[in-house]
C-alpha cells in the first residue's frame, strides 16, 4: 500500500511522503525482478480514507493551519471528482481485483483509488 502522497508531496509530511514514493519505486523494481517467476507486484494508492490514523493526521493538519477539521476535510473532498470520504471497504475491492486472474497482466503499476483527487 502506497498512497496518493506517493505521487504528490505535502508539506510537513516529508518522511511519510518519502516512504510512499519509495513503495512505488520498489513496486516497479520488484515487478521486474519477480516477473520472470510469474509474480505480479502492484501498489494501491488510496486517497483519504476514514481511518483512525487519517483522522489524526487531519486533526494535526487542521491545527497547524489554524482551521477546523470540518473545513479542511471540506477542501479535501472538494478536490475530488467524486464527493465524499472513502471508508476502508471502498478500497478493499482493488486488492481483491489485483489478487485475481482478472489482473493477470498487470504488474509494476501504482493504482490510484482516490475518487479522482490526483491526476495519474
Q: Which of 6, 11, 16, 23 is catalytic?
A: 16
For the question of residue 16 being annotated catalytic, the response is yes
Whole-angstrom Cα distance, residue 30 to residue 10? 26
Phi, psi of 108 (to 5 degrees): 75, 20
What cell was used for 110? 501504482
DSSP H stretches of helix in 3-67:
14-34, 52-65
Catalytic residue numbers read 16
Amino acid at each position: 500500500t502506497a498512497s496518493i502522497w506517493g505521487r504528490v508531496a505535502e508539506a510537513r509530511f516529508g518522511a511519510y511522503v518519502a516512504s510512499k514514493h519509495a513503495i512505488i519505486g520498489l513496486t516497479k523494481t520488484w515487478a521486474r525482478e519477480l516477473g520472470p517467476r510469474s509474480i505480479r507486484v502492484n501498489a494501491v494508492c488510496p486517497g483519504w480514507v476514514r481511518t483512525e490514523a487519517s483522522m489524526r493526521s487531519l486533526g494535526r493538519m487542521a491545527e497547524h493551519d489554524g482551521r477546523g477539521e470540518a473545513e479542511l476535510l471540506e477542501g479535501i473532498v472538494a478536490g475530488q471528482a467524486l464527493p465524499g470520504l472513502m471508508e476502508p471497504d471502498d478500497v478493499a475491492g482493488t486488492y481483491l481485483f489485483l489478487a485475481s486472474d482478472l489482473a493477470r497482466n498487470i504488474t509494476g503499476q501504482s493504482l490510484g483509488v482516490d475518487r479522482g483527487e490526483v491526476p495519474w
